[in-house]
Each structure stands twice: as structure tokens, then as C-alpha cells.
Amino acid sequence: MEKMLVFLNSLYLGMASFFSFYVAPTLFKVLGKEQAGKVVEKVFPVYFGVGGLVALLSVLLGFRIGKFFVLLAILNLLLHILQEFYILPTANQLKQSNYEEFMRWHGISVSVNLAILVITLLMVVIILRKL
């Protein structure tokens, strides 16, 4: 179980880091704000959906790893749900009507995404210490 969880969380961490720190910034440099925003809007549901699924599997299968791991996995799952079903829809709704408020929600989204990455990294470290 531990090997599968380290694989899934490492895979998500790598994918999420690559997207967050390379793909998204490159899209905005190459395509411009409006077109890149449309692409990223389409990617986010899959991005956070996959992360939520990995977090859910970590909650369900992580009890042998330890309580702290499970607590991190629950927090990670809750952050993915918050991002997918509240933060992103709110930001998307504001994009057309109130750009300043959209940018505030964008900052919240970036902060939550960074927290997700840090939590996922901690989870990977915890699993690796158990192997």
C-alpha cells in the first residue's frame, strides 16, 4: 500500500509542480492573458480532480502509515474540494464583472495551490520514511 501511495502522491506532486511553475506561466507568456486563461480554466477541473482523487485514496489507504499522514491527507482533500467547488467558480464568475476582485481570488487560489503542493510533499516524505 505504501509504495502505491508514494507513487500516486509523487506523480501528482510532479505533475502539479510542473504545471504550476512551468506550464501555466509559459502559457501566459506565449498566448497572452485571455487565451491562456481559457486554457487554464479547462485544465483546472482535471488538475484538482486528480489531486482530490489522490488525496481521497491517501485518506482511505493511509491508516497504516499513521495518524498524522491521514490528517494531512484529509486536509489535502478538503483543500482540493474547496479549490474545485468554491474558489475556482467564484474567481471565474468575477473575472468578467470585477477584475480587481478576481485578482484577489486568484491570489487565494495560488496560495491554496501552494499549500496543496507543500502538504503533498510532506505526505511523500512521511511515506518514504516508512519504507
Q: 3-state secondary structure string, 67-96?
A: HHHHHHHHHHHHHHHHHHHHHHHHHHHHHH
Domain count, the chain: 1
Domain ranges, residue 96: 2-130
Give percent of the chain with pLDDT exceeding 90. Answer: 92
Query: 122: exposed, middle or buried (C-beta count within 10 Å: 0-12, 13-18, 19+)?
Result: middle
Euclidean distance between CA atoms 98 and 79, whole angstroms: 25
Average pLDDT, integer, range 42-63: 96
- Give per-residue pLDDT as tens, 65-75: 999 999 999 99
Going by pLDDT thresholds of 50, 70 and 90, the confidence category of residue 40 is very high
Euclidean distance between CA atoms 19 and 114, whole angstroms: 12
